[in-house]
A and B are shown apart, each in its own frame.
Chain A
Amino acid sequence: MNAALELLLPLAWRNLWRNPRRSALVMVAVAIGLLSIVDFTALMQAWSRSTVTASLRTLTGEGQIHAPGYLGDPCVQHRMAPPSGALLAQLDSGEVKAWAPRVRVPAMARSERASLPVTLVGIDPRREQGLSFIADPLAEGRHLRDADDGGVLIGRKLARRLKTGVGKRIVIMSEAADGRLGERGFRIVGVYPAAERTESTFVFTGLHTGQKMLGIGDAVSEVSFMLRDPSQLDLYLHGLRKAAPSLDVQPWRTLQPLTEAMSRFANSFVGLWLGVMSVLVAFGVVNTLLMAVYERVREFGLLQALGLRPRLIVVEVLLESAFLTACGVLLGAAGAVALIAGFHDGLNLGFLARGAEWLGAGHVLYPQFDWPALLRACLLVWTLGVLASLWPAWRAARRSPVAVLGQG
């Protein structure tokens, strides 16, 4: 067999270049098909990643801890003691990049001109670094200084709706621990930019200020955290649940089911596109090789008459196809990688930013190399090309040498 391969390998390679134009055209078709598959996958993954990041940074984190019942009915009654003991040790362990306790309750914001429903969030501003968007630069004014800060940060949209701004006062009303409607005036110290829905929902103040207003002592509504290595989430959640068996510990997937659905939906489309492109590439390869075999029937007949076994003819055609598709695949992979690299600074969707926001993604997508996925796509297209050539190969080997040589 080795000797046969030694003979067939160069034969197949040279045959490929007997008609360079034809081979080049198929290679380009295979290459574009592969490029389309690979870059489509990269873009969809970038899209999913952007949706997940946007969602996690909007106060979700990779996971959250609440008092039981808070998720179904997020109000002041469902509160928990600040983390201590085993839970605190888990949160302060090296696995956690950032964690923060928060007070988070439904409230009403009232300016001189209007009142609107909002969510009041009490934060320790330093702890939100690396955890949520509120640590990002503001549109106007200053950040909260610490957990005792008595000012509020509001979103641009809410500021417009309430016809208010930095330096002005608003009144926040919310149900306090004793069931009364707690009410407190706040000075607006800063205005933050975010997605429109976020801007009109969240009002931030110092954690201790919020706790005092609601009369809940040092209790909190939630603890949100980000890990150093997101792939360890399940393991880490297990540890947290053991450390705080009476609390409700949830990963972002359950907290934001839509974000999870968006990722799965994007993957479905990747699969669909893979199927469509594969079929087309297979058509191209079959058509070309059938022609290549057809015009060489006499040659194959001669080879058989000289003693080459039909089995080896099949191998020869398969080798030709393997070379042909491999060249196309390599070309396509190079193109795909170059295209992704061209967008390493991000693909800016600024021209339709509100559309991206409506769908829950960020304004800039960052396509990345996913080497295993690239390799899988290459192997798949290549295997498919070789398999598609089984039919032409079988036809080449099947003809009787005598009949063929007698032709033409």
Chain B
Amino acid sequence: MILRLAWRNLWRQPRRTILSLLSIAFAMGVMVWLLGLQQGVYGQMESNFMRIVQGYAQIQPRGYADDPDIDKTVPRPGALARRIGTLGLTASPRGSGYAILSSGTRSRGAMLLGVVPAAEARLSAIPTAVHEGRYLRDDDGAAIVIGKSLADNLHVQVGQPLTLLSTAKDGSVAADVLTVVGVFATGIGEIDRQFAELPLSRFQATFALGGDASLIAIGGPSLKAVDRRLPALRKLARAAGLDAQAWYELEPGLQQAIHLDASISVFWYATLLLVVVFIILNALLMAVLERTREFGMVLALGARHGLLGRVVWLELVLLVAMSAALGMSGGSAVVLWQAGHGFALPGGDALFRNRGLSGKMYPALNAFSLLTGPAAIGTSVMLSGLFPYLRIRRLEPVSAMRAV
């Protein structure tokens, strides 16, 4: 009975109800969309950025993160990689060090990675970023792939030799002559200017690593899947006297950048919420004030204050529920459409490309992005419903009936 009463009351002023409904739904939809956008872009930033070279996690020698020295190594990386494989993840042992690369009279400092080509193809973006020549193959010997700007600065082309000069693990001179088999362009300035990859076996021989690796990069179906396996990875690493590093430990700046954006945006969402609450509070007060006489009459006929309060409250609940349905479906429709097509803002293109993202933003729909906004707005609007409710509790039948 109460429900039907509330429902009918709601439609006594259809225009006002629709306007209130639209304002709540619009705010909820905007929140679903913006949170979806943030969630999507954060996810893109995390996984795409980590995927370029670092991997979603790494197993490193103790203290390597602070001081990536060539003396610090992971012994028997093959056995460890197989055990990581049993967790359903991809493991790629790598050698890592700095060297001077020279071609003719040109020389440049570069960051070298010794890699297992087949494993890299499953976790790094570099194999797919090769645009001249080819990526490394498992049977390659004296081969190297280098970044586009590095190749340009060294005046070297596919098929030409490069000299490598550095210090090996045992302190001796590490020197080698390698043939450039491929040039890659990731679009990320630092990587295209500084990175080069050669086969791990060649790296181990040149840098006197024996059978050791510098670290093990870890990939998987998704960044979240790797994160879920972190406890197992840490246990595995500890048992071998090594450290497991999650993506946020490898790239703390990225995680902080995300936290920074998220914490600042909370403030803007709060202002959005307040505007909605004030608009609705206004509509609610009107709805109650204009019915003062009617309420007085009903009270005089013997209805209890509690019942009246419940009816008015229920009106609000119905309003919020309809708005939520509309706002959430509208917001998620936009999110889902853009998740497929992408959403571009002026200036975003260049910015994202240099962080390893495509030029567009792809929002993501998940429980958090779908429910947080509507729940926050819904709760605040229902709380603001306390004001008219309290007003009704104070009504005296006689004076109320005389009200204009």
Contact = CB atoms under 8 A, between A and B. Distances in A.
A9 B279 CA distance: 26
B351 A117 contact: no
A173 B100 contact: yes
A72 B345 CA distance: 28
Interface string A287-327: 11011001100000000000000000000000000000000
Interface in A270-292: 272-273, 276-277, 279-281, 283-284, 286-288, 290-291
Interface stretch (A52-60, A228-236, A260-268): A260-268
B230 interface: no
B16 A291 contact: yes
Given A173-B100, A258-B354, A280-B23, A265 B347 contact: yes
A248 to B, nearest CB: 17
- Give the one of A114, A286, A352 with max B CB within 10 A: A352
Given A22-B282, A173-B100, A358-B256, A280 B16 contact: no
Contact of A73 (B20, B152, B263): B152
A115 interface: yes
B279 A280 contact: yes
B249 to A, nearest CB: 12
Nearest to A27: B278
Interface stretch (A35-43, A127-135, A146-154, A215-223): A35-43
- Give the one of A25, A161, A179, A290 with max B CB within 10 A: A25
Contacts of A86: none
Contact of B286 (A75, A265, A291): A291
B108 interface: yes
Interface range for B: 35 or more
Given A21-B285, A29-B279, A287-B279, A359 B109 contact: no
B47 interface: no
Given A279-B26, A280-B275, A283-B19, A25 B110 contact: no
Contacts of A262: 347, 351
Interface stretch (B236-244, B266-274, B367-375): B266-274
B109 A108 contact: yes
B20 A106 contact: no
B334 to A, nearest CB: 13
B274 to A, nearest CB: 5
A115 B350 contact: no
B17 to A, nearest CB: 10
Interface residues of A, number: 71
B283 interface: yes
Interface in B278-332: 278-279, 281-283, 285-286, 290
B351 A277 contact: no
Contact of A356 (B26, B102, B260): B260
B340 interface: no
Contacts of B27: 280
Contacts of A370: none
Contacts of A269: 345
A26 B272 contact: no
A81 interface: no
Contact of B349 (A32, A261, A284): A261
- The B interface, classified by DSSP as helix, strand, loop or mixed, is helix
Nearest to B351: A261
A353 B346 CA distance: 26
Nearest to B105: A179
Contact of A265 (B274, B279, B351): B351
Contacts of A25: 278-279, 281-282, 285
Contact of B110 (A33, A117, A161): A117
B341 interface: no
A277 B272 contact: yes
A384 interface: no
B289 to A, nearest CB: 8
A61 B252 CA distance: 29
A114 B350 CA distance: 35
Interface in A171-203: 173, 175, 179-181, 196
A277 B26 CA distance: 10
Contact of A358 (B13, B26, B253, B354): B253
Contacts of B166: 115
A352 B260 contact: yes
B64 interface: no
A180 B26 CA distance: 67
B394 interface: no
A113 interface: yes
Contact of A261 (B16, B100, B257, B350): B350
23 contacts: A26-B282, A33-B275, A74-B153, A115-B100, A117-B109, A173-B100, A175-B105, A261-B347, A262-B351, A264-B347, A265-B345, A265-B348, A268-B348, A276-B272, A280-B27, A280-B279, A283-B19, A283-B26, A352-B260, A355-B254, A355-B255, A356-B257, A357-B253
- Top 5 closest pairs, chain A to chain B, by CB: A117-B109, A264-B347, A355-B256, A358-B253, A179-B105
Given A32-B274, A114-B98, A349-B260, 10 more contacts: A22-B285, A25-B279, A32-B275, A108-B100, A115-B109, A265-B345, A276-B30, A283-B22, A287-B16, A357-B253
